[in-house]
Structure 1
């Protein structure tokens, strides 16, 4: 339940950010987009509700461990812990934004997107304040986490909204002309901030694969590969496809890209609710190894092992298959075959995963 709520929370932020940003873009530079006002309002209302789920879980655990009432533990969390403080500010901001979006006069005001985006930015900052990096590294962790999530929300939010809520197939070239550089910038910020976050939370990246957190982090990183392949195809191969095939519709391909992006968000949400392994050996004293890891790993497991890469024929074959599937995504795009391209993108992740897991000893 908590993983689902965290994933939905990120989706709400993405829809909110994407919808508001697109309202600032001139109509001649994007397709006609119509996001229901009720959906935006629902996303805003859902943010504090979904953010409360991990706090609720924490309160239940602490109330049992310390033999205290739920209400007293909850009060302590909200007043003394970063996660609780951030939730209070998130709730205040979300209630204010929901009130404004509920006003018909405000929804039609030309300044509405700017005001709403500012509040959304504050909500993202408070989300970063509640994260692991902020609690461990203070302001540096807050800035890194917030920058990472902001870039993801802008990139995936615009992508998701324009692919699923556009009303026509016009002006795609004009849209991609400005969106591609924006997406590239967001990807660079995401990768840079992601590496910094990893240095905070997962300094032993490969050894962390023994833990649920490390497995989910690996899966997330592998999912980014087909996402980047689709982004490259939609951003750089579209013009050639449009010239050779006037009936080519990029919207379907953007929708496929957005689905993979949602899988990345789901993995990110799952990561947010697991214990980051600052020291893998110590974490294994309190956290069980990942069932996925133990089912695939062929060696004898102990808390003292250090994983190392050692290529074998089966791992080489799997990695080669992943490379072939990745190339197949580009080939299928040029052939305008969406379903095979999407399946090849998923198989890139699957083969890449087993190739890496088979290569550790």
Structure 2
């Protein structure tokens, strides 16, 4: 349940961020995009509900361990723990945003998107305040986590809104011209902040593959590969495609890209509720190894095992197959064969995953 709620929470943030940014862009620079205010209102109200799930789980665990009433523990969590304090601010900000969205005078005001975007930015900062990195590294952790998630929300939010809520294909060249550099900047920020976060939470990257957190982190990174390939074709190949075929419709391709982005968001949400392995051998004292890892790894296992990568023939073949699928995805874009391109994107992740897992020694 907690993984589902966290994934839905990240999707709500992406929808809010993407919609408010799109509404600040002049109509001549974007397609006709209609996101109903009801959708935004539901997202604003869902944020405190979904972000309360980990608070509730913490209170349940403490109430059971200390044999105290649930509401007594909940009150202490909300008043004494940073994650609880952040949730209270999230509740206030979300209800404020929902109240504004419910006012017709505000919905019709030209400054509405800017105000909504500012409140959403504050909600993202409070999400960072409640993160693992913030609890370990204070304000530095808050800034890095918030920057990482904000970049992802801007990139994927605009992508998701433009692909699924656009009414027509007008102004796509103008949209791509400004969105491509925005996406590139967001990708660079998210990668840079992500590497810093990994140095905080997962300094033993390969070693962490023993744990569920490390497995999900690896899957997230491998899902980024087809996402970036689709982003490359949609951002740079689109202009060439349009020159050759004026009737080319980019929306199905951008929707395919958004589906991989959705998978990345889901993986990110799951990571947010798993124990980060600052020291894998110590984490294994309280967290069981990943069932996927134990099913694939055939060597002897102990909590103090040290993993390394080598490249046996089967790993080389699988990684080579992943590269072939990546090249095939770009080729399928040139031939406008979306289903094959999407399948190849999935295979890039699968072949890459098993190629790396079989390389563990």
**Shorter-chain TM band:** over 0.9
Query: What CA distance in whole angstroms lies between the structure 1 residues aligned with 2:311 and 2:151?
Result: 35
Equivalent position of 1:318 in the other structure: 318
The total of aligned residue pairs comes to 361
Could you tell me how far 1:55 is from its partner in structure 2? Answer: 0.8
Residue 218 of structure 2 corresponds to which residue in structure 1? 218
Give the superposition deviation at 1:310. 1.2
Alignment partner of 1:358 is 2:358: yes
Q: Deviations over 1:265-292 (max 9, x none)?
A: 0000000000000000000011000001
The list of structure 1 runs, each at least 4 consecutive aligned residues, that deviate by more than 6 angstroms after superposition, is: none
1:247 Cα offset (Å): 1.8
Residue aligned with 1:306, SS: coil
Partner of 1:169, secondary structure, is coil
| 1:207 counterpart = 2:207 | yes
TM-score between the two structures when normalised by the length of structure 1: 0.99
Q: CA deviation at 1:360?
A: 0.9
State the shift of 1:297 in Å: 1.0
Partner of 1:82: 82
Whole-Å separation in 1 of the counterparts to 2:300 and 2:341? 38
For residues 246 and 131 of structure 1, what CA distance do their matches in structure 2 show? 47
Matched, 1:69 2:69: yes
2:13 — aligned with what?
A: 13
Match of 1:338 in 2: 338
CA distance in 1, matches of 2:200, 2:303: 22
The equivalent residue for 1:183 is: 183
The corresponding residue for 2:197 is 197
CA distance in 2 between counterparts of 1:83 and 1:185 reads: 29
Shift of 1:81: 0.6
- Superposed CA deviations along residues 285-316 of structure 1, whole A, max 9, x for unmatched, are 11000001111112111111111011101111
Residue 38 of structure 1 aligns with which residue? 38
Report 1:85-234 matches (<5 A).
85-234=85-234
CA apart distance, 1:18: 0.3
Distance 1:59 1:295 in 2: 34
Q: TM-score, normalised by structure 2?
A: 0.99
Distance 2:232 2:35 in 1: 26
CA distance in 1, matches of 2:300, 2:282: 19
> CA separation in 2, counterparts of 1:286 and 1:46?
32
Gaps of 5+ in 1: none
Question: What is the CA–CA distance in structure 2 between the aligned matches of 1:125 and 1:29, rounded to whole Å?
Answer: 29
Cα distance per residue 1:46-96 (max 9 Å; x no partner): 000000011111111111111111001101110111110000000000000
d(CA) in 2 for partners of 1:82, 1:337 = 49
Structure 1 position 195, deviation (Å): 0.1
Partners of 1:109 and 1:169 in 2: CA distance: 26
Q: Structure 1, residues 159-186: CA drift from partner, whole Å, max 9, x if none?
A: 0000000011111100000000000000
Alignment of 1:267-278 (within 5 A): 267-278=267-278
Q: Quick one: distance in 2 between partners of 1:186 and 1:305?
A: 37
Partner residue in 1 for 2:249: 249
Tell me how far apart the structure 2 counterparts of residues 331 and 266 of structure 1 sit (CA, whole Å): 28
Distance, in Å, in 2 between the alignment partners of 1:261 and 1:301 is 35
How far has the Cα of 1:246 moved from its partner? 1.7
Q: What is the root-mean-square deviation in Å for CA atoms of aligned residues?
A: 0.5
Deviation at 1:21, TM superposition (A): 0.3
